[in-house]
Amino acid sequence: MTQTHSISTRTTSPGVTERAGARFARTLKPGAVITLSGIYGAGKTTFARGVALGLRVSARHVASPSFVLIKEFPVHTQGIRTLAHIDLWRLPRLTATDSHAIEEILKRPDGITLIEWGIKLPKRFQKYVSHSVNLKITGPTARTLIIHSLHSRKKTKRA
């Protein structure tokens, strides 16, 4: 998978990170898979909440899914039917059942998938990833977000 382009944004509050997520969401096409990386408190869930807002999912439902591996929400915009929010932190390793469930979600042509702690995504699933978002803490309320857009996963998937 080749990187096509990157956008870097600096945010100054959780609200600004959320709005960056919402703006990003409006550029997404069905089938997008986004990995979110960055240390604890970097703002992965805050950004994910913004993506949900941008897709008109009620944001109050989007918390860190620390005790749940996968949360799913219905979406009715941009030809997208579902938003799946996956947090890989909880798992020291993925069981075969977890991997199977995750791959089925990643393959959905009409879904959007957000993966927190994407760094833990097994290598064989990288081919599904369309965007990677890296969040860095640059001050008490400052964050730098780097959004990498990767080659269309559809090409990879159907090759």
Ligand X SMILES: Nc1ncnc2c1ncn2[C@@H]1O[C@H](COP(=O)(O)OP(=O)(O)OP(=O)(O)O)[C@@H](O)[C@H]1O
- Non-local (6+) Cβ contacts of 17 within 8 A are 11, 43, 46, 47, 50, 135, 143, 145
In the stretch 43-82, what mask flags binding to Mg ion with x, by CB under 5 A?
-xx------------------x------------------
Q: Are 131 and 150 in contact (CB under 8 A)?
A: yes
Q: Which range touches Mg ion (CB under 5 A), out of 41-49, 91-99, 104-112, 120-128? A: 41-49
Tell me how far CA of residue 4 lies from CA of 37, 105, 121, 141, in angstroms: 19, 24, 21, 30
Q: Which range touches ligand X (CB under 6 A), out of 38-46, 69-77, 101-109, 151-159? A: 38-46
Q: Which does 21 bind (CB under 5 to 8 A by kind): Mg ion, ligand X, none?
A: none
Site membership for ligand X, residue 40 (CB under 6 A)? yes
Q: Which does 130 bind (CB under 5 to 8 A by kind): ligand X, Mg ion, none?
A: none
Comparison of 87 and 125: residue with beta carbon closer to Mg ion:
87
In the stretch 47-86, what mask flags binding to ligand X with x, by CB under 6 A?
-----------------x----------------------
Residues that bind ligand X (CB under 6 A): 11-14, 16-17, 38, 40-46, 64, 116, 141-143
Residues that bind Mg ion (CB under 5 A): 44-45, 64
